[in-house]
Chains A and B, each alone.
Chain A
């Protein structure tokens, strides 16, 4: 502008100089004279237009018009350039490790309750978007649970607290950390400090807590929402050693579970799934799983033999087995122990079933494993002592049970510590209570009156990530970082040290719990801790002085510490030189007094009431800690297939007797407490038992979880120093009204169709293709040719336990939306891979089979031919592609899909609340409203690995590409690969005789195939495979 102004000024100046004779150079006398007419002519000389002779003429001249038109065209097209309106700045100094568009993977770990996982965290542009199992981690060996996947979404939970807060009246007001720290230190200095926290799996954290205790004289108490103190206390009573044994299912030929849902929720189910499945692979001797239980659990659904007993009868079964083996059979060294024999006397009258099991157990001595579990039994010391004794008698201790070499770490929490804290508070010995890692106001059952205790404490400092049930009753909320935002470590198994790396800077003004502890202790003058300004420094120093120092020269500790640390961060796990995970550890001396005491205690227990209520954990929500993660709320229970609710499960008989319909409201009463819940009629449930899931009924968890279900723990009673989660004498009454439970599955019988093919082990040995009914298929057309790759998948139904971790892995990988309870009931669930569960045989005692179903990528895809706009087509590598952009949404493809795997975007599901959008995987399109979607066999991963191989100039190897479901599967039931490569794992799997295709007779030629399920039993319940009487030929 300035320059223009200058020119104008100049021209003005010139015109003032236009006096007569002032022109230095002149062309004519007229010019020299400054003749007005000449001046006018000179002005117009170069400005006339052929179409606009007269300047005063109105309208636009041709040139002007063209000029303006050109300019406006330029302007409009300029407006079309998609340049952001806001200022953007490119990376001036790009972080070395971040390449936009490329994912970075960091080793880390995650502890869910006491179940630990080695993780690989996938980050994109600095934000974690997915976790994958760390393949070389002994705790999970690449497998992950659904909950571990949900851990990512928990990071981006919009309901998290954004900074420290202090309670004023009924409101929480924000406060700065430095101000708050001073206040807290002043409060802590008053003394009488107690800390209530979840079990610690970290020596580092424990040593820090020791320092903290020293500084403030604090007492530390541990309790877990999922409490397994019965086992550790039983170990102490029997062997004098408080330890959580590592159950080695891998080495067990015969597994007997009494209510222990080892494949669903018990202790470390992900690892158990893996170990169990190792022994289901048919190339080695197959294990046998026998389950006694009241409710139908995931483990029970997988059992080779399942017997229905009430939870209160577990002791009868266990002691009956002992009686059969010791007294009747006269087996084992205890057969000479009169004290033991006497205590078993009362359990002489066992059923034939128990006798048979006793016989089989003894036949498998040293190679068997007996587990008693369930939420109740896990903290029932006496039951655990008896079970441990049975293992002892069978010689399993030290073989399938490792409590010596490398037991599990953690599990330090117990009800007794909670009770001790209670006594202390009641005696006014607690002024300040710090609560970390547990939400006791929710997870401690109401009968314990924990909530009342909090009001007796002057100041409660809570480090939870939100103002939840406990947060609301606290004085200070000092929110800890999410595990993904913080450093940490965990010793999941003795000697197996994992590191937890932060993969994102804290999203909010939160601070790690350990950093808080460090800060408070330092401010209060702890000299030792003042050497460390952050928890990270402390952690590093601790590792240098301990794990590194003790293992110098071993593995990654060969070089200096910096090298060790680098190696640790890369590998994520360090197994110390002395760790022995494989070999047997030898037996220990069992204290039989513990047994006799336990037996007499158990004998005195009795129940009153028409029904026996058992409270249980679901594999999605478990104790309710991740309840606000929508993926888990919409994660159907592996057995009932219901999500978004808890419900009282009743047997077929109860439903028949009381004329109940699914979803009717029931009143369940235990003692003086009652809850109103909808009913679910559960085939295979013991007629006297009622089931109700814990983990629901959150009131302050956040938008997702609040008001979903009822808080079942209200019915748990507290007596003899333990909670009663099972064996609760209960009354059941129908009340007005009913609701529709969100059941993902529409029908539960295979209707005699060949869907899941099952065979007994004997049948399989005789004929590996047993029970598969092959159809004669002929076609007018020649087969499709695939020159390069031909992707396919094989799913081994014999390995698959139905844990459904693949569903959530797929959801995380593929940005699959959650639709909510209402739309699940309306049939609009979006999962790309689903777990179908069918019952076979009699509903009173059914067989159960599980089947993952994803898009089958048919070669003759029925969906492809009917799409009018060719939005779904086949690619030259055998994939059935879906072009979202082209999809108009006629839904014809979904109608014509025999497997019903296509999912439609009924509404606009893209607008998730911030910052949940950060969990989206940028490699997978977020689907718009009105388009169809379905499993792509992780096409994004295929493309990525292919590009990578091309860039590196190598040939793609089998196993380079893993689909998300395959990767997460703890049992390795899913195999993906190139069917054109005859040596690929998928080709080998498909070459097995028990390979079959779902709905083969339709000649859709799916690229996904299934392998028969084999049960180690004499007879299958109900029909096996196809009904041979009918069926097209």
Chain B
């Protein structure tokens, strides 16, 4: 019988675990961290300026035009929504499948989901021509008739999908945090910390009844979150699939988008975990090479799923016999945006193939590079879908090109500033690894009689 590899390295005691994880929350940040936060915040401020200018002067500042009505904002929205998926997959789906290795990365993956959805959620609101009334997208009783939203519009489904996803993710994440918040509260040495974490931990005392309720709620929420992994990106894909544009109007989109989302999400988790491991060396004992390798395997799998989807799209375009479809796909690969298409294919399908090699799967620098490529590739996937389909559709007279402006680039890079600002602050105010979930798996790999 093969002995299970330990999930936590370094022969930790239970107290060690608490100390290790709480250290980040209890010690003031060092200069390196502050510098990183400073850069992120600057980028975030820049983002606010960019978006402020767009709200003030109009969407015209960005590269969108007729025929390309959707550009960077929607591309980046789908990108960030996709990122979120890995978090839910790790924390909910792997939880339901009793994948114990998930415990040490679940918290941060989940946090990534929350921040990614926050970042993403702003885009559809800010990309509208009149963002100050984008609340009209929500169905609420009003004095205009009442005038309701159009329930046939996929954009409306999006509103529901994303807001549900954001709500469930936040609740799920927060519920999981409660026992750890209580731990931080109990260790708190000053009044303010005690008060703040005390309030946040909702009166957690760790009684058997508490644990009982907690586990039950956590499992129910995991069950609730699991279908969202599939539904959210399916619905986001409807924005495209329900439209009649060649290149958008395809039935493969929902599964293809979900696979892509998980793919990009894991890419981002790997990126973040590498950073955390480097920033907090102690965490290497918790986020072990085995974790990283597992995630790389998922990247390899979903990368190939996505590659299959790319191929299948071409087959169906040809098989459909619709000249508009055939043209749209030929144009993708060989039209003026060929570079975007081949960037996408290279980053998403070709590069992850290096993960067939164990050495690469377990090499931190290699996986970091690959994960960055995956992120780039997945952004381009959405760009290819959105822009190349729009820029040449039915009537050739209306064909056009999309051109990046300063504001487009500002929105893309600025959104990373927003994401990382939240993420960095999170690592300092909340336990980045779930103490309560790690402790029960401490024994894995150490006990001789784990399996009879």
Contacts and interface: CB of A to CB of B under 8 A. Distances in A.
Co-complex (A, B) = yes
Interface of A: 745-753, 755, 823, 826-829, 834, 836-838, 851, 853, 862, 865-870, 886-892, 894-896, 898-900, 902-908, 928-932, 998-999, 1002, 1027, 1030-1032
Interface stretch (B151-159, B184-192, B345-353): B151-159
A1002 B244 contact: yes
B31 interface: no
Interface stretch (B58-66, B212-220, B291-299, B409-417): B58-66
Query: Which 4 A-B pairs give the minimum distances between C-beta atoms?
Result: A889-B129, A930-B129, A906-B60, A827-B65
Nearest to A1029: B323
Contacts of A930: 58-59, 128-130
Interface string B233-248: 0000001001111000
B147 A886 contact: yes
28 contacts: A748-B396, A749-B396, A751-B327, A755-B396, A823-B60, A827-B65, A827-B67, A836-B397, A866-B242, A867-B155, A868-B137, A868-B149, A870-B149, A886-B147, A888-B130, A889-B59, A890-B124, A892-B243, A894-B69, A898-B245, A899-B394, A900-B394, A904-B66, A930-B128, A930-B130, A999-B394, A1002-B394, A1031-B323
Contact of A868 (B64, B69, B153, B396): B153
B60 A828 contact: yes
Contacts of B59: 889, 904, 906, 930
B60 A870 contact: no
Interface string B387-410: 000101111111111010000000
Contacts of A823: 60
A891 B129 contact: yes
A753 B396 contact: yes
Nearest to B403: A826
B204 interface: no
A868 B156 contact: yes
B41 interface: no
Contact of A891 (B69, B147, B242): B69
Contact of B395 (A752, A894, A898): A898
Interface residues of B, number: 55
Contacts of A889: 59, 128-130
Contact of A890 (B127, B147, B323, B324): B127
Contacts of B60: 823, 828, 906-907
B155 A892 contact: yes
Given A747-B399, A904-B129, A930-B130, A891 B394 contact: no
B153 A906 contact: no
A953 B351 CA distance: 76
B322 interface: yes
A977 B270 CA distance: 63
Contact of A1030 (B147, B155, B323): B323
A899 B154 CA distance: 21
Given A892-B155, A894-B69, A906-B59, A746 B128 contact: no
Contacts of B68: 827
A838 B396 CA distance: 9
B446 interface: no
A351 to B, nearest CB: 35
A880 to B, nearest CB: 14
Interface in B116-141: 124, 127-130, 133-134, 136-137
A829 B65 CA distance: 9
B153 A899 contact: no
A902 B66 CA distance: 8
B150 A869 contact: yes
A689 to B, nearest CB: 26
Contacts of B67: 746, 827, 894-895, 900
Contact of B323 (A747, A753, A826, A931): A753
Given A827-B65, A888-B136, A751 B243 contact: no
A929 B129 contact: yes
B58 A908 contact: yes
Contact of B150 (A836, A853, A868): A868
Contacts of A895: 67, 69-70, 243, 245, 390
Contacts of B137: 868-869, 888
A826 B68 CA distance: 10
Given A892-B70, A898-B395, A907-B60, 4 more contacts: A755-B395, A827-B68, A851-B397, A904-B59
A866 B154 contact: yes
A747 B396 contact: yes
Contacts of B66: 827-829, 894, 900, 902-904
Contacts of A896: 243-245
B133 A826 contact: no
Contacts of B134: 888
B321 interface: yes
The winner among A851, A929, A1002 for most chain B CB atoms within 10 A is A929
A606 B232 CA distance: 75
Contacts of A900: 66-67, 393-395, 398
A834 B271 CA distance: 49
Contacts of B70: 891-892, 895
A108 to B, nearest CB: 36
Interface in B31-82: 57-60, 63-70
Contacts of A827: 65-68, 400-401
A888 B128 contact: yes
B334 interface: no
B148 interface: yes
Interface string B174-218: 000000000000000000000000000000000000000000000
A1013 to B, nearest CB: 16
Contacts of A838: 396-397
A890 B64 CA distance: 12
Contacts of A928: 130
A929 B130 contact: yes
B48 to A, nearest CB: 20
A527 B225 CA distance: 100
A888 B133 contact: yes
The winner among B64, B133, B320, B397 for most chain A CB atoms within 10 A is B397
Given A866-B154, A868-B149, A930-B129, A886 B397 contact: no
A1027 B243 contact: no
Given A751-B396, A894-B66, A902-B66, A907 B57 contact: yes
A899 B395 CA distance: 6
Given A886-B136, A894-B69, A867 B150 contact: yes
B243 A904 contact: no
Interface string B336-350: 000000000000000
A836 B397 CA distance: 6
Contacts of B394: 753, 898-900, 999, 1002
Nearest to B157: A868
B396 to A, nearest CB: 4
Nearest to A883: B147
A705 to B, nearest CB: 24
Contact of A1027 (B128, B323, B403): B323
Contacts of B124: 890
Given A748-B396, A904-B66, A1030 B244 contact: no
Contact of A1032 (B321, B390, B395): B321
A527 to B, nearest CB: 64
B90 to A, nearest CB: 32
Contacts of A747: 392, 396-397, 399
Nearest to A830: B66
Nearest to B69: A891
The winner among A853, A868, A930 for most chain B CB atoms within 10 A is A868
A840 to B, nearest CB: 12
Nearest to B394: A898
Interface string B279-319: 00000000000000000000000000000000000000000
A277 to B, nearest CB: 23
The winner among B129, B243, B245 for most chain A CB atoms within 10 A is B129
Contacts of B396: 746-751, 753, 755, 838
